Amino acid sequence: MNITPPWDQRLARPFARLLSHTAVTPNQVTTLSLVLGIMGGLFLALGDEAAYWGALFYMLAQFIDHMDGELARMTNQTSIFGHHYDHVAGGIFEFCLFCGIGIGLSPDALSGWAMTLGFTTAASVGITVAVRLEISRRFGNDAIDQPNWLGFEIEDIMYLVGPIAWMDWLAPFLLLASIGLPIYMLITLWDFYARNRMQKQGLDEEA
């Protein structure tokens, strides 16, 4: 069942409505989410109890990331730059998340592979974000819409980072992410290739 907009976007609307009566701009909100996301990664990298705060900062960044778009639409400040900045900022703080987890875990975690898995997972995030931005540029924003089930999107699973960190389950979470995100990266790359191929075939037929 498709419920739109997603729940976190609905929850962000009242806060965006309050901001719409101020001088705060959507890009400033995006910058706030970026700063919180980077702080989250830094605190996660410190490990131990600092990681709990890092997870909280990341969750706040993830939620605030939905406020900028709502504010932009309410105040007619939508822009191509803002759209791209929003996606890049989200990619950066997710990149920081996995780097931070990998650094912050014990050197013995995941048989000593925690830092390597953190960096490779973060790299997968970076590549995925770059490819999705190119898909959006070539084929429109609708081409990167995520599936919606009962008001939840795939990315909403990242809100679980908080509870996972607080229960000290970051190691298994990183292990699963190091498998799932590279697979998602490959799916995104294949989607990009398939769209380009279909577009080229269409142009050849018209010619």
Q: What phi and psi values does residue 20 have, to the nearest 5 degrees?
A: -65, -15
Determine if the peptide bond prior to 107 is cis (ω within 30°): no
Is residue 54 situated within a structural domain? yes
Is residue 1 situated within a structural domain? no
User: Residue 145 burial (CB < 10 Å; 0-12/13-18/19+)?
Assistant: exposed
Residues in the chain predicted with pLDDT less than 70, given as ranges, are 1-5, 147-148, 150-152, 203-207
What pLDDT is attached to residue 153? 72
Partnered with residue 149 across adjacent β-strands are 152
Alpha carbon 72 to its chain's center = 19
Interatomic CA distance for residues 61 and 171, integer angstroms: 22
Identify the three-state secondary structure at position 83.
helix
Look up the pTM and report it: 0.88
What pLDDT is attached to residue 154? 73
What pLDDT is attached to residue 151? 63
16: CATH: 1.20.120.1760
Is residue 61 situated within a structural domain? yes
Q: What phi and psi values does residue 84 have, to the nearest 5 degrees?
A: -70, -40
Is residue 180 situated within a structural domain? yes
Is residue 45 situated within a structural domain? yes
What pLDDT is attached to residue 147? 66
Instruction: Give the domain range for residue 38.
Output: 7-206
Is residue 97 situated within a structural domain? yes
| 59 contact partners, CB below 8 Å, separation of at least 6 | 159, 161, 162
Q: What is the pLDDT of residues 151-206, one digit of tens each?
A: 667 777 888 899 999 999 999 999 999 999 999 999 999 999 999 888 888 766 66
The structural domain count of the chain equals 1
Is residue 2 situated within a structural domain? no
| 37 contact partners, CB below 8 Å, separation of at least 6 | 57, 58, 61, 62, 89, 90, 92, 93, 94, 96, 97
